[in-house]
Amino acid sequence: MAERNDKAGDHLANERTFLAWIRTSISIIVFGFVVAKFGITLREFLQLQGHAAQESGLSLGMGIAFMAMGVFMAVVALFRYRTTQQRLEAGDFKPARTVIVFLGIVTALFGVILAAYLVLTASRM
C-alpha cells in the first residue's frame, strides 16, 4: 500500500511540475504580446503626434520571439510530462538534464537580448 501512495505522490509532483511549466509558458507568451503591442502602440502614438516613427520594428520581432519561446516551452512541458508519466509507471525515472540546460541557456539569451534592446532604444532618446 505504501508503494501505491508513493507512486501517487510522484504523479502528483509530475502534474505540479507540468502546471508550473504551463504557468511560465503563459507568462512568456503574454510578455511577448505586451512587448510587441507596446512597440505598435508607441509607433501609432508618435504618428498621431506628428513625429516620424523612430522604432525599427524590433519590439514586434522580439515580442513574436518571446511568444514562440512560450509556445515551445508549453510543447516541451507536455512532452516532458508524458515522458515522466510513462517512466514513473515503468519504474524507470530519469531527470531531464538536456532540456533543463537548453531552456536555461535560451532563457538567459533572451534576457541578454532584451537588455541589449533596452540599451539600444535608450541611447536613441
Q: What is the pLDDT of residues 3-53, one digit of tens each?
A: 556 788 899 999 999 999 999 999 999 999 998 888 777 777 777 777 766
If pLDDT is split at 50, 70 and 90, which confidence band does 70 have? Answer: very high
Q: How many domains does the chain have?
A: 1
* pTM for this predicted structure: 0.74
Q: Using a pLDDT cut of 90, give the percent of the chain over it.
A: 40
41 or 56, which is more confident: 41
| pLDDT value of residue 105 | 92
| Host domain of residue 96 | 2-124
Q: Provide the sign of the torsion angle of the four alpha carbons 20, 114, 56, 61, taken in this order.
A: negative
Per-residue cell: 107: 532563457
